[in-house]
Amino acid sequence: MKKLFFTLLACLFINIVFAQHWQETYNKADSLMQKREFKNSIPLYEQALPLAEKEFGKESENYLKTRNGLGRSITYVKAKEEIEPFLLENVELTRKNGEKTALYAQSLHNIGTFYLPNEKGNNSKQCEQYLKQAITLKKKILGVKHKDYANSLNNLANLYASTNNYVAAEALYKEILQIRKETVGIKHLDYAISLNGLAILYRDMGNYDAAESFYKEVLQIYKEVLGEKHLTYIAALNGLALLNWNLGNYATAESIFIKNIAIQKEALGEKHPIYLNYLTSLANVYSDLKNYAAAEALYLKIIETQKEVLGEKHLHYAISLNNLGMVCFYLGKYEASKPLYLQALQIRKEISGEKHPEYTRYLNNLALLHQNLGNYADAERLYKQVMQVRKETLGEKNFGYLTSLNYLAVLHQMLNNYPKALSYYLPMIKGNKDLIAKNFSFLSEKEKENYYQTKIKNSFDYFDAFAITQKNLTAQLYDLQLFSKGILLNSVQKMKNRILNSQDSALIQEYKSWNNLKITLAKYHQMSKEEFAKTGLNLDSLENLANEKEKNLSLKSESFAKISDKKTPTWKDIQAKLKKDEAAIEIVKINKFGVEKIVTDTTDHAYRNSTF
């Protein structure tokens, strides 16, 4: 009897040890997963799974939630063929355990997340179906204030953002942000993830002021919670770099990309897809800076590695093919460019469909190639297709749509169809003026100039070259010149006047502090290197500080702007100020486009055929 008692006691002890070992291992894995350290959470979940099976059985809640944790982790790390069967099996196992359980809802969430577009292919219908099922169940079982409910909403928002349903995505992100603010607080990782989703969304929508604000808040939280070497922090920093790239701040973007690439190389290795993505971003910057030799070398390296690691049907492989095609185009290698464009288009079409913004960009590149080859009918057909899709998906106030108008205007100008060209030029000009009014309020003077030079000026230059050949467009040409000069020359003085007249003592003091810093910087710039070295200061840090102060002041000064400040002067306003014996003379520099010549200067060739 004693022997039996001791045997039972020993078995009970062993079971308790197994249970404790499972619990400890599971808790460690779950903690790492919550911090998005998926590579580290996976081996712990794999250790916990057989422990749960042996102690509790395959139908137990502990076993199933261990599988769910493992499924959620491998979704972000392992290859598709390894993941999908495991996740589908999870759905079936948890369903048998009960269709109205949180475990079943989480397994639906995991498989829905796996099917998110741009990560594992274009399975948006399956993704939406599974995520909506998960959301419905979690709402009933857990309530709308639970973190797991918010997680599923967040991934549905990611789906809508990736498929260009920006209105639905924005509404969901804002709902999630409020839930997480109330449940976990504004310093939690989950809250930062929601902010990051909105930052990316607004960047893609062209709402750069909101995007920059969210990115800065996201980075601060990630820095505090995860540290500056964590891949999630690096990814958000990369998003800020892309925003700077969009704004034409290439030097800032380049420095961030180079820093990130070094970290990713050490952490992941040179064949990891994420490392290759960062390398692509740097190559894109070099391309925009017209450093085509550096860009081409990087793209060739990227394509070779992607072909080996990802295969020839992968989205990122298509992106690289298109990028290399653009470099070949810029260098005048049209015959080399065409097959690269066509292959990239086919892959992108299969993955994302014909309504995706990137597909339209690829199509626009092919249209421009046809235009340069003299295939004008094909070029117009493709330009119109691009314009219509961008109108439907992005709206008429988006930079991409306005770019399409400009391409069509230039094409019809080349064909001497001047009324048609004008019908595209005029709405393009109005739309770009509206974009400037929207985006300039949060930019510093340097960034305003960069934005104008890289995003707007080329389109205005094309109109100027067109208008000078038309007798009835002199007024529009002059008005555009006044607008362009005004936005760059008057903004600092207007900001100063608004702030000093605001009667806001704190804001006035902030302005004076910024002004003193600018004066000090001017003195430092007059010093020799030896003289400045003695100060022990870092000039770049002071420049960045002055830039940040100026951006904050620019944004705050908008609240004091009067309607009269925002009125753009026209030629009639200038005329009204003149006396009878006076005349106003304006010198307008006109760039001449479309001149046939043998290309020897590739920089000039690229400028004439800029893809904006």
Amino acid at 410: V
Q: Does residue 206 carry a pLDDT above 80?
A: no
Residue burial 130-152, b: 16+ Cβ < 10 Å; e: rest: bbebbbebbeebbeeebeebbbb
Q: Per residue in 536-593, pLDDT tens?
A: 777 777 777 877 777 777 777 665 554 335 567 787 888 888 888 888 887 777 776 6
Confirm whether 526 is domain-assigned: yes
> Which pTM was predicted?
0.55
Residue burial 343-375, b: 16+ Cβ < 10 Å; e: rest: bbbebbbebbeeebbbbbbbbbbbbbbbbbeee
Confirm whether 196 is domain-assigned: no
Please report the pLDDT score of residue 519 as a whole number. Answer: 66
Q: Does residue 9 carry a pLDDT above 50?
A: no
Question: Among 365-379, 461-475, 564-578, whose mean pLDDT is lowest?
Answer: 564-578
Which residue segment(s) compose the domain that 501 sits in?
Answer: 488-589
- What mean pLDDT, rounded, does the chain reach? 81
Confirm whether 556 is domain-assigned: yes
Is the distance from CB of 338 to CB of 369 less than 8 angstroms? yes
Amino acid at 236: A
Q: Per residue in 247-288, pLDDT tens?
A: 888 888 888 889 888 888 888 888 888 888 889 889 988 988
Confirm whether 509 is domain-assigned: yes
Q: Does residue 121 carry a pLDDT above 60?
A: no
Confirm whether 527 is domain-assigned: yes
Confirm whether 608 is domain-assigned: no
Q: Does residue 312 carry a pLDDT above 50?
A: yes
Nearest to 390, CA basis, from 376, 370, 405 = 405
Surface-to-core class of residue 576, CB atoms within 10 Å of its CB (0-12 exposed, 13-18 middle, 19+ buried): exposed
Q: Does residue 338 carry a pLDDT above 50?
A: yes
Please report the pLDDT score of residue 17 as a whole number. Answer: 46
The CA distance from 168 to 189, in Å, is: 23
- Count how many domains the chain has: 1
Confirm whether 149 is domain-assigned: no
Please report the pLDDT score of residue 426 as a whole number. Answer: 92
Is the distance from CB of 243 to CB of 215 less than 8 angstroms? yes
Whole-number percent of the chain with pLDDT over 70: 83
| Angle made by CA atoms 489, 493, 497, in degrees to the nearest 5 | 155
Please report the pLDDT score of residue 597 as a whole number. Answer: 38
Please report the pLDDT score of residue 340 as a whole number. Answer: 95
Q: What secondary structure does DSSP assign to 498-550, as a single string? A: HHHTS--HHHHHHHHHHHHHHHHHHHHHHS-HHHHHTTT--HHHHHHHHHHHH
**How are the residues of the chain apportioned to helix, strand and coil, as percentages rounded to the nearest 5?**
80, 0, 20
Q: What secondary structure does DSSP assign to 154-175, as a single string? A: HHHHHHHHHTT-HHHHHHHHHH
Q: Does residue 18 carry a pLDDT above 70?
A: no
Question: Among 235-249, 278-292, 394-408, 554-568, whose mean pLDDT is lowest?
Answer: 554-568
Q: Does residue 341 carry a pLDDT above 70?
A: yes
The CA distance from 341 to 384, in Å, is: 18
CA separation, residue 246 to residues 77, 203, 276, 424 (Å): 29, 8, 20, 24
Q: Can you tell me the mean pLDDT for 296-315? A: 91
Q: Does residue 377 carry a pLDDT above 90?
A: yes
Q: What secondary structure does DSSP assign to 313-351, as a single string? A: T-HHHHHHHHHHHHHHHHTT-HHHHHHHHHHHHHHHHHH
Question: Among 2-11, 355-364, 434-443, whose mean pLDDT is lowest?
Answer: 2-11
Please report the pLDDT score of residue 491 as a whole number. Answer: 60
Coil, strand or helix at 255: helix
The CA distance from 450 to 478, in Å, is: 23
Please report the pLDDT score of residue 46 as a whole number. Answer: 84
Q: Can you tell me the mean pLDDT for 128-140? A: 93
Confirm whether 78 is domain-assigned: no
Is the distance from CB of 319 to CB of 344 less than 8 angstroms? yes
Nearest to 465, CA basis, from 451, 480, 450 = 480
Compute how many other C-beta atoms are within 10 angstroms of the C-beta atom of residue 425.
Answer: 26
The CA distance from 527 to 534, in Å, is: 10
Q: Does residue 4 carry a pLDDT above 50?
A: no
